[in-house]
Amino acid sequence: MNNFEKILNKGLETHILSDEEIICLLAEQDMQKVQKLFDTANLIKLKNIGNKVSLRGLIEIGNVCRKNCYYCGIRRENHKTERFELSQNEILADAELAWKFKYGSIVLQGGEIQTEKHIAFIEDTVKKIKFLSRNELGITLSLGEQSLDTYKRWFAAGAHRYLLRIETSNPEIYSLLHPADHLFSERLQALYDLREAGFQLGSGIMFGFDGQSYSDMARDLLFLKKLDVDMVGMGPYSVHKDTPMGKKHSVQNDSEMLILGCKMIAVLRIIMPDINIASTTVLQALAPDGREKGLLAGANVIMPNVSEVRFRKAYQLYDNKPGTDENAVATRSALEQSLL
């Protein structure tokens, strides 16, 4: 047995891997071995979760954001982005559609807004979604950093999961990706506050950008394990040309990024055998069957977009986001086709 296979066997049996072992898995270029990594992760998923894909209806509620992350297309200072905010009735209509589609839960995703008006709006909207779905729809929020008090209000209203990516576990890299007033320490505190408020915690990272090493990525994966998150959404960085990072970044190779994305999912599945891991939209941007590849490498969650088409183009975190011109019914049938 070669070293690569020994590491996979250790992962399969113990779910414990060291930095060096993870680096060895991520750096492997021989596709036959890489396929074994994916198969091992998929096997672990089948054993611990079963052969099912959880669908969460994604509703992009608005793209107004107070933050200015260097990589993101909806950052505050991207004046080329047309801004939108869904009305409560629009969100409720999308939620109802997700409920009718029998999605077990929905994700309300949007930029970071900390005004009392917005906080109260979300609180009320969450209560109304619980009511209209007879308490059946689970609600995940992904609305950026907020105060502990806000998290408590949104949890009391009926949301039960929150997604907030740490982006990177390395404070130095964090400070390269963000302006000086976006603090790593505050992001970390937000994750602790979310847990204190009662939320099931989702987090994640972005990877594959210039200057980051396999060792950084290995540490990020081990950080997620240490944080003991319930759910992970993570994906490769993808250039948005109207951002400071996108303007400087080297050209990326889509198929390499997709393989890296799948390797990261696979290693995470090996070290966290029973958590929810999303196969994110960014994988689909890299190849038409990217999300399905993510599932075969150990992911178990897909978040089909249920937002109205007319707003999808504006929610552009990176260039060439897929599915911006199909409606929710088309998204669902495309998914059914690809998952059969």
Q: Which residues bind ligand 5AD (CB under 6 A)?
A: 71-72, 165, 167, 206, 235, 237-238, 240, 282, 317-318
Rg (CA), the chain: 19
Candidates 33, 67, 160, 225: give the one binding ligand SF4 (CB under 6 A). 67
205 binds ligand SF4 (CB under 6 A): no
Nearer residue to ligand SF4 within complex by CB, 72 or 296: 72
Nearer residue to ligand SF4 within complex by CB, 112 or 242: 112
CB 204 → ligand 5AD: shortest distance, Å?
6
The partner in contact with residue 209, picked from ligand SF4, ligand 5AD, none with C-beta cut-offs of 5 to 8 angstroms by kind, is none
Residues sharing a CB contact under 8 Å with residue 184, sequence separation 6 or more, in sequence order: 171, 174, 175
Contact range with ligand SF4 by CB under 6 A, out of 64-72, 92-100, 154-162, 265-273: 64-72
Chain center to CA of 136: 23
The partner in contact with residue 202, picked from ligand SF4, ligand 5AD, none with C-beta cut-offs of 5 to 8 angstroms by kind, is none
The partner in contact with residue 318, picked from ligand SF4, ligand 5AD, none with C-beta cut-offs of 5 to 8 angstroms by kind, is ligand 5AD
314 binds ligand SF4 (CB under 6 A): no
Candidates 28, 43, 85, 144: give the one binding ligand SF4 (CB under 6 A). 144
33 binds ligand SF4 (CB under 6 A): no
Q: Which of residues 89-118 bind ligand SF4 (CB under 6 A)?
A: 111-112
245 binds ligand SF4 (CB under 6 A): no
185: helix, coil or strand? helix
Nearer residue to ligand SF4 within complex by CB, 64 or 227: 64
69 binds ligand SF4 (CB under 6 A): yes
75 binds ligand SF4 (CB under 6 A): yes
First-residue to last-residue Cα distance in the chain: 35
Say how far apart CA 303 and CA 54 lie, in whole Å.
8
Say how far apart CA 83 and CA 248 lie, in whole Å.
25
321 binds ligand SF4 (CB under 6 A): no
Nearer residue to ligand SF4 within complex by CB, 271 or 285: 285
Tell me if 209 sits within 8 A of 244, measured CB to CB: no
202: helix, coil or strand? strand
At residue 79, φ and ψ (nearest 5 deg) are -75, -5
Q: How far from 22 is each of 19, 202, 215, 228, 234, CA to CA, in Å?
A: 5, 22, 8, 18, 17
E strand or H helix at 17: none
Nearer residue to ligand SF4 within complex by CB, 99 or 184: 184
The partner in contact with residue 56, picked from ligand 5AD, ligand SF4, none with C-beta cut-offs of 5 to 8 angstroms by kind, is none
DSSP string, 234-283: -EE----TTSHHHHHPPPP-HHHHHHHHHHHHHHHHHHSTTSEEB--HHH
Candidates 34, 72, 137, 205: give the one binding ligand SF4 (CB under 6 A). 72
Candidates 8, 44, 55, 65: give the one binding ligand SF4 (CB under 6 A). 65
Four-CA torsion 301, 306, 311, 316, nearest 10 degrees: 10
Own/partner pairs for 123-126, CB < 8 Å, 24+ apart? 123/153, 123/154, 123/157, 124/88, 124/157, 125/88, 125/91, 125/92, 126/154, 126/157, 126/158, 126/159
CB 268 → ligand SF4: shortest distance, Å?
21
Say how far apart CA 62 and CA 243 lie, in whole Å.
19
Q: In the complex, which residues of this chain contact ligand SF4 (CB under 6 A)?
A: 65, 67, 69, 72, 74-75, 111-112, 144
